[in-house]
Structure 1
């Protein structure tokens, strides 16, 4: 059955946000809005002021009906979707947020290292951080030398230039604590912000954002609602050589298909969990690699169906450190070992020895690990494949543990890390720690090029380190993030091209933000820039979509007024005016 809804109120299912621990562990509200008409195949249902409806019924209103408002339809309830919803509400539009999963949060809720911002009041140092743009350009690699360089630079400039404002927005408007700043791999200075409490930053930000949204009666969250199609209007006039205009979405929920009218913001995330679909198509060489993502198909096909351009689809980020669970080492879904564990002082070992600068970019560290001998190649066993993984140890000393205590305690509770006294380690590892302690103390330079050592405090003088406790867990590279996606401009408009108009042009009525988009990160994303991208471009997309919704409101009111005037000026029937 298919029915067509405008701004109709929905008794949407909305499950509570998972706990912080459940969010990290995962590898898997409704309010009234301005109602207009519900168009069905059998007739017209008019929503009255109380929100109830009756097919073919009529109600005599004693007061003038409120002006009709088109909602902004946001597809995907990760941080990009939540931010776009907040932005559209702030700009004056009601919002319907659609999420195919049972709860909001997406991958954003699992983010464990933080969000980048520069320069901010939380950063230390006598000189303001002005290197974020350069670090991002450098991280993007060879993609920056493509034909789209100018557009990439524009998107990166907006990302980095608005990063401090994004931090201020989350702190001042949403109420999130982001007072702790860490140095992450690939960054020249510390600029990755998180809170000082026990909750991971992704969970804290998502929870605070949801709490804020649910206080607004114009906001609806509809979980377990999957968008199956973008609706478009026929091409006409000036648009006959360009992309179609998006007018709404088709949604599936509990066996029923519904159509919603309004401008659309697409924030459905990437395809790192689409192992047998887009990932297999664009990166078949990654078959068998474990992932931090829940298994689900990418939704890029809905965008290409309306002509959207895709870019950088082969750029898939392999995060160097996903935990291998000793209790279930062959499980393909891994819990991420947060990058800030290395930023705060952690080191990586293979057979007891360091082999890489742990503060390199994710791409560099992962590539170095993957040149080591495989622990085991994927093998088919009983219809499933054992993952393709490596045997690398992540080790934290007491100083790094203090700075990462909430995270490490969680990993300890899950059996992903274990605590050992230094004297109980094998001799090769003990010798490595002895040498590394000398590097940190300034006795010699690091042969691997590491210059920042976080909060490492372990010393090695007359055996003083023997009684110290260290924290160790096995890690392996994991498919984590997809840099490719829909091409957007600085206004978050999705761009499309046609045979008659090969230069990409904006698709009217369609915006995108977050991991569904491409062109911002190039070959490699810096840690902490995923949440940032969601906030910066989510704010842009929500505001732009709200502007479009208001033009639709005005056009509909003008059309309604013209129709009413025309009806009132009609001549009475049964009179031949030529006789007068």
Structure 2
């Protein structure tokens, strides 16, 4: 029972669709589009007032093997090499079947965004930390909106897709399968403007609700040190209620305590901020990270995110990322004035030292030593992969930002198989329940490489959408597996 605005008691509203998708980011939109394209009636819901979730805060980057961009640049890459990079970063906790599925479809996934939605990418590839070779494509404006907005525009004109915001998932509606006695997902209960609705799903439910980086109580249970004092890059809707309700119906969790910190965030701005756009494109590949207490480097600027974040945290204070005016040209945000006051400009090494309380003599020695490494083409101190166009830090003004890690991504989540079906704790797929994106776990293992989340969301969102559309609840395991 529920109550309307006139306080009159009425029956809960019941609706019927083929599939319901929870979450309107990369994964949810990809899933909804694929299911609708196969003629299914899709309800796409999001509890927030605006669509896109964390995906709109994304830097518009996606990793892919075998792109024409790599071929043009003479970059040798392979599924096995990317797989090994992700295993190295994930300390081999990644599930091989999910890795293989995602990476083998990586370029096809990017092509799909181009052909279906007209999304454009820059010719130049980005070298992300932890990747052995440049393989990351960037949208024209380096923004997740470059992907989200075209997806939304196309979906909103599809007559068989209904997008509803401020609609909150409350619980699963289950029914007993007469053949085996197992519970299967028949639909979901949602609330909108104080009215409860039962949504019956003839095909199934797709979870694409994202991670729980902004859910401090749940996050702190997994990693007690990631409490109130650790900020997050995520939007406030990144909470754990979908995962918790899934656990209530015996969905199998995987690696929930593996929570990633972003090493490129600044304590001088809230949320994701703008510092990452400078660090990812310019500061890390074309500059150095310095401990202000010692005025020296202390980490590989292009190591994986875990290595860099932990190295910074060991300093017990913010550190400094710096490059010169030539390196700054590679900033993802080209208008550097937009990065002020977080980004500082300096006309001499002495100005840098004064700004951060460094020793100017030691700082100059650190820069000279790094410049010598660039000239040799090898970083003997920390093993940083130096790009062919790397240059010595000599052109003023120098630019710098302070860094302190923030919670950014939850590697752990619900266990899925390669068909994007959510798995029961007893080892079988929960009938009628699919998931994609950050709500799932196993793809990234112990730590995620940059630009792999976008690929994860879109690739498995597509798989979930296609498979829910072809799923027959009347037959156990009836999946056509038409992933790509």
- Give the TM-score range, shorter chain: 0.7 to 0.9
Q: Does 1:191 align with 2:161?
A: no
Matches within 5 A, 1:134-283: 134-143=84-93, 152-179=95-122, 180-195=124-139, 197=140, 199-238=141-180, 240=181, 242=182, 244-262=183-201, 263-276=204-217, 278-283=218-223
Contact 2:283 2:328 in 1 (8 A): no
1:296-327 CA-partner distances (Å, limit 9, x unpaired): 431211111222100101111111121122xx
Q: Which has the larger radius of gyration?
A: 1
The one of 422, 438, 461 aligned to 2:348: 422
Contact 2:46 2:166 in 1 (8 A): yes
1:252-308 CA-partner distances (Å, limit 9, x unpaired): 1111111111121000011111112x2111111222222112334312111112221
Q: Does 1:346 align with 2:314?
A: no
SS at match of 1:115: strand
The one of 14, 26, 35 aligned to 1:88: 35
The one of 102, 109, 113 aligned to 2:49: 102
Aligned length: 448
Match of 1:77 in 2: 24
Contact 2:53 2:235 in 1 (8 A): no
SS at match of 1:143: coil
Consecutive unaligned residues in structure 2, runs of 5 or more: 4-9, 354-359, 476-484
SS at match of 2:328: helix
Match of 1:129 in 2: 77
Rounded to whole Å, the distance in 1 between the matches of 2:13 and 2:195 is 17
Contact 1:292 1:335 in 2 (8 A): no
Match of 2:333 in 1: 406
Mean Cα deviation higher: 506-515 or 350-359 = 350-359
SS at match of 1:472: strand
Give, in angstroms, the shift of residue 122 of structure 1. Answer: 1.3
Cα–Cα, structure 1 residues 42 and 432, in superposed 2: closer, same or farther, change >3 Å?
Answer: closer
The one of 355, 365, 368 aligned to 1:434: 368
SS at match of 1:101: coil
Give, in angstroms, the shift of residue 251 of structure 1. Answer: 0.7
Cα–Cα, structure 1 residues 447 and 408, in superposed 2: closer, same or farther, change >3 Å?
Answer: farther
Contact 1:174 1:209 in 2 (8 A): yes
SS at match of 1:286: coil
Give, in angstroms, the shift of residue 333 of structure 1. Answer: 7.1
Cα–Cα, structure 1 residues 229 and 546, in superposed 2: closer, same or farther, change >3 Å?
Answer: same
Contact 1:226 1:253 in 2 (8 A): yes
Contact 1:183 1:343 in 2 (8 A): no
Give, in angstroms, the shift of residue 120 of structure 1. Answer: 0.6
SS at match of 1:70: strand
Matches within 5 A, 1:249-398: 249-262=188-201, 263-276=204-217, 278-287=218-227, 288-296=229-237, 297-298=239-240, 299-325=242-268, 337-338=276-277, 339-342=280-283, 344-351=285-292, 352-372=295-315, 374=316, 390-398=317-325
Rounded to whole Å, the distance in 1 between the matches of 2:13 and 2:154 is 38
Consecutive unaligned residues in structure 1, runs of 5 or more: 4-39, 46-68, 145-151, 375-389, 553-580
Give, in angstroms, the shift of residue 335 of structure 1. Answer: 5.5
Rounded to whole Å, the distance in 1 between the matches of 2:377 and 2:444 is 37
Rounded to whole Å, the distance in 2 between the matches of 1:308 and 1:400 is 47
Contact 2:17 2:43 in 1 (8 A): no
TM score, norm. by length of structure 2: 0.86
Cα–Cα, structure 1 residues 301 and 450, in superposed 2: closer, same or farther, change >3 Å?
Answer: same
The one of 388, 391, 407 aligned to 1:479: 407
Rounded to whole Å, the distance in 1 between the matches of 2:12 and 2:134 is 61
Mean Cα deviation higher: 110-119 or 472-481 = 110-119
Cα–Cα, structure 1 residues 492 and 332, in superposed 2: closer, same or farther, change >3 Å?
Answer: closer
1:52-111 CA-partner distances (Å, limit 9, x unpaired): xxxxxxxxxxxxxxxxx8332100111100111111112221221100001111111111
Contact 1:89 1:218 in 2 (8 A): yes
Cα–Cα, structure 1 residues 439 and 113, in superposed 2: closer, same or farther, change >3 Å?
Answer: farther
Rounded to whole Å, the distance in 2 between the matches of 1:496 and 1:486 is 10
Rounded to whole Å, the distance in 1 between the matches of 2:335 and 2:368 is 23
Contact 2:60 2:145 in 1 (8 A): no
Rounded to whole Å, the distance in 2 between the matches of 1:399 and 1:219 is 48
Contact 1:337 1:475 in 2 (8 A): no
Cα–Cα, structure 1 residues 259 and 335, in superposed 2: closer, same or farther, change >3 Å?
Answer: farther
Match of 2:384 in 1: 450
Match of 1:506 in 2: 429
TM score, norm. by length of structure 1: 0.73
Match of 2:439 in 1: 516
Rounded to whole Å, the distance in 1 between the matches of 2:89 and 2:306 is 9
Give, in angstroms, the shift of residue 486 of structure 1. Answer: 0.5
1:463-493 CA-partner distances (Å, limit 9, x unpaired): xx4xx11221111011111111101000000
Give, in angstroms, the shift of residue 411 of structure 1. Answer: 4.7
Match of 1:119 in 2: 66
RMSD of aligned C-alpha atoms?
2.5
Match of 2:418 in 1: 490
Give, in angstroms, the shift of residue 347 of structure 1. Answer: 2.0
